Amino acid sequence: MLSAMFAGFSPDALTFYEGLEADNTKAYWTANRDTYEGSVREPMEDLVEELRDEFGLGKVFRPYRDVRFSKDKRLYKEACGAVLHPEGAAFTVHYVELSAKGLRLGVGAWHFEPELLRRIRTAIDDDGRGGSLQEIAARLDEEGMPLHAPELKTAPRGFAKDHPRIELLRRKRFAATALLEPGPWLHTREALDRVAEQWRLAAPLNAWLERAAA
């Protein structure tokens, strides 16, 4: 069966998440599950399907939280997220998330094995390759899609504290994100265009990371 054409997220989707933030209980979920399925999950699946040709195969995440080992006992995620894997990419992704706050978009990678992170830092240390990433990061920041803040408070082992690209070296994650606040556009196909536009803008980051890790 062919997927329906993405037509935007209805206002009911935002209302659903506003309610879930206020009442994250099984009772609320059960009473509003039809709204979740029809106004949140199905449109998200349609969005992912329409974007797959350009941005890769994707999946929509489950709405349930794993609370077994967490102090946070909220049962349900207060956002609907999906990830798309670009064809040929080893580890970089495209990310989209709907919540009461709007659409959050991301590109890059969140988790790095030690060897992969070592390769990325080696590339950053190189004036040519590192300078290229610095330019990409600056451009994304100007466009409202900055890199996630550095996790380390000081230079990683083996690098000088006054390294010219210390802000990049202090990172353990390399992901650029943007939050598109709700507006009339969210309820139309313009939402698809905005997602694609942001991901295209950030494409150089994914390309740089993949080259550096090869």
Condensed to tens digits (0 to 9), the pLDDT of residues 21-53 reads 999 999 999 999 999 999 999 999 999 999 999
Query: What is the chain's alpha carbon radius of gyration, rounded to the nearest angstrom?
Result: 19
- The reported pTM is 0.92
In the chain, DSSP finds a helix count (H) and a strand count (E) of 8, 5
Q: Which residues pair with 99 in a beta bridge?
A: 102
Query: pLDDT digit string (tens) for 117-128?
Result: 999 999 999 999
In this prediction, residue 3 carries a pLDDT of: 54
Quick check: 84 pLDDT over 50? Answer: yes
- Tell me the residue type at 74: R
Is residue 86 pLDDT above 50, yes or no? Answer: yes
3-state secondary structure 152-205: CCCCCCCCCCCCCCHHHHCCCCEEEEEEECCCHHHHCCHHHHHHHHHHHHCHHH
> Domains in the chain, ordered, with CATH?
11-213 (3.30.930.20)
One-letter amino acid for residue 148 of the chain: H
